[in-house]
Every structure is written in structure tokens, then in C-alpha cells.
Structure 1
Amino acid sequence: MTRRRADFTVLCTALAVFVLAGCSQDGFQLDEKQREVSREVAARVNGEAIYTADVELEAVARGLVVSGAALRSGDEAYRQVLDQLIDQKLMAQEAERLGLEKDPAAQRRLEMAQERIMGNLLVESVVAQQVTDEMIDRMYAEQVRLQQVNDQVSVAHIVTESEEEAEAVWLRVQAGEPFEGLVFNHSKDSATRMENGDLGYVAPNDLPDPYPVVIANTPVGEVSAPFQVEDSWRLLKVKDRRTEPPKTREEMRPEIATFLTLSEVSRILRRLRTEASIEKVDGQTYTPENAPAPAKALTGDEL
């Protein structure tokens, strides 16, 4: 189990090397709606504007704030980044005054910078369109199964007939009532209600879905939120573990999102390489007919 977890982390790290240079971690954030760029001015340098959106984007790229977090003009991170952008603007203006951008080498570097930015925009587009919460849930469930192959977990549950009843019991647990004290009056499982809902030590993968994921996301001593199993609703308490628990969904989410993003970028690049005509310095021309076979794409089964 430990080896499989390590392999997944190493794979994500290896794939990260593949991504286009200059793409910040923000490129892998999900649930970000496309927003119109704010034209609110943060500062003017010799009449040229620096926008608050520029400050926010740069702060996220440098890891000073989390994507989506509020960044106010009074914050130290805001002032720090704005001062750096002012210096950057001053230096760019001076370089332009000296005509440095007209140098052929400088023009090529500017073109390459634009290419990197366009590549980053493609990555962001991939995230927005292809890396969904549904895909993350599917891969997380798959990883949980792999990581809990040899797990032995002591659990107890309460089985109710409706979501409303399960929610009512959940609220009482959240209010501090002992889980065991609620089992007898509320659980419909006649086989366990006299035993405080105890199922003993179980192998999570031997239980029906979504038990394996619920068990993975519930720390020892805590009770899960209500979840549905066929025609009933249930709450689950994890009492003990004989093995190290897998990461929760939220802990593994960045790794999975990164893996899915880079896998999709790899797929796009393989297609583009196959369709393109590429001539290297050795004079050999690669066309769709003789292009080298692209590297085999890894799937969730191979993590």
C-alpha cells in the first residue's frame, strides 16, 4: 500500500516536469469561473496603468495567496507585489526607451515568452473543460481502492430509511450526542442495532460503494456525513484502523487534478506531434506518416 501511494506521488512529480515552463500552480485550480479582467487601476507609472487584477494574479503565481482568496490594498502581500510590478514597469519602460526590444535576439525572446503564455492558456483551458469534479471523484475512488487493499478498519453504522432521518441523526451527532446512544432508536439494521451498530474489523473494499471512499474520508473516532447505499441512508463511524489511512479526497485532490491536467496536455501534444510536420536540425522531416510513436499514456489503472 505504501509503495502504491509513493508511486502516485512520484508519477505526479514526473508529469509536472512535462508541463510547460512558467505555468503556475494556479493553472491546476478547479471550480474557477471565467471572469472579465478587472480594469481597476492599482497604480500608474509614467501614465501606464498597473491593474489590481495584475497584482492578484502575480500574488497567486508567487504563492503569496491562494487562488480566489481576497487580496486587499492594505495587505502586505498586495503592497509587496505592487511595488515589484512598479519596478518591473519602470525597467520595461527604460528598456523600451533604449530601444532594446528592437534587437533581433530580444524579439525572439519576446516571441518565446508569448509562446509560453499561449501554452499556459491552453493548460488553463484543459483544466476548465476536461478536469471535472466527476473525474476527480472517479480517480479518487480508484486510488482509495488500491490504497485500502490490505486495510482492516473497525467501523459501526446507523442505517435509516430516508435522507431526512439520516440528516436529523447527523445533526444530533454534530451537537455532541454519542453515536452509540443513537443507534438503538434510529438504526434499521436489526443485525447490528443491539451491538451499537458495530460491523467489526472490515476490509473497506469488501463493502458496497460508497463505503470505501467514506471510510477513507473519515478519521478515526469521527462520524461521516450521511451517504446513500441502494435504498437506505447511512452514517458511519470509524472506530479504529490497523493500517495507515489513505489521504482524504481534499488532500489528494491537487495531485489528482495535476495528474489529469498533465495527462490531457500529454494527449494533446501527442495528437499535435502526429499531425504536424517537424523538421529537426539533422534534416530529418517528421510527418504524420513517419512520426515517432508517442509515449504511452498512463491511466488511473497504472498509477
Structure 2
Amino acid sequence: MLTATLSTAACSRSGDNRPPEPGDQAVATVQDETIWASDVKREAVAQGLIGEDETLDATSDLFRRVLDEVIDQKLLAGEAQRRRLDSSPLAQRRLEATRERILGDMLVESVVNKAVSDQAVQTLYNEQLRLAKTSEEIRVRLILSRTKPEADAVIGILGQGAGFEAVAAERSIDEATRFSGGDLGYSTLDVMPQAYADALRDKPAGATVGPFQTEGGWAVLRVEDRRKENPPTLEQARPQIVRYLTYEGVRQLLEQLRGKAKVDVRLPAQTPPASPTTSAPSAPPGA
């Protein structure tokens, strides 16, 4: 919290009283130094109180609370300067570290803003749709019995024309689904128990499957529907795409900077712990 406040205070200092942003509003002065609405919003963002794209109403309680914190910080900083606490070599290094952190953040924001454009998000989304392997979803109903004779009896009752939902409500021992007619909803085979997936793999909609043994008893299933899994919409996928583009933008920037800079790490080489075998971690699927 203190670091965020110091960073904001350092950013808001200026040598004149011109608005730092078009349409900015002066909201207070401390010793003839103006505090702008953008200073207050920046501090609120730094503290995680609002998002970067959110607005902060100057009449809100939150704005007034953060404004008071900015005023207090300016008073503290001014008193520290009056006492010449900023003149020691250690203080200068700490101030320079804060300045470097702010400048680094500004560079990253600039790079990310260019990398995470609407066009870039749309392009990556289209590429994901092109490469995605669409799975099939299956909607299934379940009647679970304790023993095979009980499950065979269920098959007999269904064969006489009884409704699957009614039999599930009357006879299934699966308390989670019996009162919804045994409805398990839509899911893909890869997330089902293996016994269910094996039994359902080639069965069409309307088919009754079983009985077969599972961990919970003996299962009889009915395939209600099969459909192609709907891919996420652009808005559903946007947060993940933005995170990826942000990460890639920063990674590429640092890779370029490290490639051009002379970096000499002066630490003793670490001795890796002894182990029978050492191997690089496996790449994720599709990498």
C-alpha cells in the first residue's frame, strides 16, 4: 500500500498548475500544489479499489476518502523534504527505484495498449476457433440401482413403456438426480466416469443403455440428446485472450531488451541438488 501511495505521489508532482489530462479537474491544493481528479483516480487504481477502465465519481465517498489519503501523503512527503530525509544516498536510491518502477509500468502500459487492441483480440479469437477441436456434448438421464437384479427390473419396467423420468424418481438411489428425473445435463465424454463414457460412446439419442456396474451401483442410462459443443463467444473468451496478449507483449518486450542489453549477474553459481535423473519439464499439449 505504501509503495503504491509513494508511486502515485511521485507521479502527481508537477512544476505548474496545468491539467495533466484534458478536462481534468482540480480538486484540492496542498501548499499551492494542485491535486487533480486524475491523481485521485490513479491512487484508487493503484490500491486496487477500482479498475483502470472504471470511472470514479468526484462526489462519491470513495473519492473523498482517497483524496484525503493523497493530501496526507503530500503533507508527509513535504515534511520529509523539509527535514532533508531525501538527501541521503539510501533515500536517493529508494526514490530512484520508485521512479524506475513507475517508468517501467508506463512502458508496459504503452506496449500492452498496442498489443491488446480490439483487432488483435478478434484475430486471436478467430484463430482459436479455426484450431479448436469441437467436442460433442451428450445429455443423459440416470437410474442407479444397488444390485443388478434391481437394475434388470428397471429395464423390464422401461420395456413396458414406463417413463424414464418417473422410474428414476421412484427407484433411483442417486439422490442428486432422482427428483429431476435422473437428468445429468449436458457433458462431454472426457469428463464422465470411464464406465459411463464407454457405455455411451456410440449410442444415439433415444437409446437406453445398461445396466452396467459403476462405483455407486448399477446404472441404466438414457441418451436424451447429442449436440456439438458450442465454442465460447468472443466476449466470453475476451478476458483469457487479453491476459494472453498482455503476457506475450511483456514477454517479447523483455526478450528484446535483454537481447540488446549487457546484463552481468554477479552471483555465485548455484549447485543443483543431486538426483538420479534430471530432465526438462515436458511441454504442455499442443505447444
Using structure 2 for the length normalisation, give the TM-score.
0.51
Partners of 1:110 and 1:75 lie apart in 2 by 32
Query: How far is 1:40 from its partner?
Result: 2.5
CA offsets, 1:78-128, max 9 Å, x none?
Answer: 111111111111111111111111111111111111111111111111123
| SS, match of residue 104 in structure 2 | helix
Residue 274 of structure 1 corresponds to which residue in structure 2?
A: 259
Partners of 2:226 and 2:73 lie apart in 1 by 54
Partners of 1:114 and 1:108 lie apart in 2 by 10
Query: How far is 1:247 from its partner?
Result: 4.2
The answer to whether structure 1 residue 94 and structure 2 residue 79 are counterparts is: yes
* Equivalent in 98, 120, 125 of residue 135 of structure 1: 120
Distance 1:265 1:68, change over 3 A: closer
* Equivalent in 58, 65, 77 of residue 73 of structure 1: 58
CA contact (8 A) 1:123 1:261 kept: no
| SS, match of residue 29 in structure 2 | strand
CA contact (8 A) 1:148 1:246 kept: no
Partners of 1:138 and 1:56 lie apart in 2 by 32
* Equivalent in 248, 261, 286 of residue 263 of structure 1: 248
Query: How far is 1:275 from its partner?
Result: 1.5
CA contact (8 A) 2:112 2:250 kept: no
Quote the sequence identity (%). Answer: 40
* Equivalent in 102, 123, 134 of residue 117 of structure 1: 102
Aligned pairs for 1:97-176 (under 5 A) are 97-144=82-129, 149-152=134-137
Aligned pairs for 1:1-303 (under 5 A) are 37=21, 39-144=24-129, 149-152=134-137, 247-282=232-267, 302=286
- Letter of the aligned partner of 2:253 in structure 1? I
- Letter of the aligned partner of 2:120 in structure 1? M
Query: How far is 1:139 from its partner?
Result: 1.9
Query: How far is 1:69 from its partner?
Result: 3.6
Distance 1:133 1:39, change over 3 A: closer
Of the two, which has the highest radius of gyration? 2
* Count of residue pairs brought into register by the alignment: 174
Q: How much is the aligned-residue C-alpha RMSD, in angstroms?
A: 3.8
Could you say which structure has the greater relative contact order, defined with CA pairs below 8 angstroms and 6 or more residues apart? 1
Distance 1:81 1:272, change over 3 A: same
CA offsets, 1:3-29, max 9 Å, x none?
Answer: xxxxxxxxxxxxxxxxxxx99xxxxxx
Unmatched tracts of structure 1, length 5 or more: 1-21, 24-34, 155-239, 285-297
Distance 1:132 1:39, change over 3 A: closer
CA offsets, 1:138-195, max 9 Å, x none?
Answer: 22234445665213499xxxxxxxxxxxxxxxxxxxxxxxxxxxxxxxxxxxxxxxxx
| SS, match of residue 136 in structure 2 | coil
Query: How far is 1:242 from its partner?
Result: 5.4
Partners of 1:153 and 1:126 lie apart in 2 by 44
- Letter of the aligned partner of 2:69 in structure 1? Q
| SS, match of residue 280 in structure 1 | coil
Partners of 2:43 and 2:236 lie apart in 1 by 25
Query: How far is 1:43 from its partner?
Result: 1.0
Partners of 1:59 and 1:282 lie apart in 2 by 38
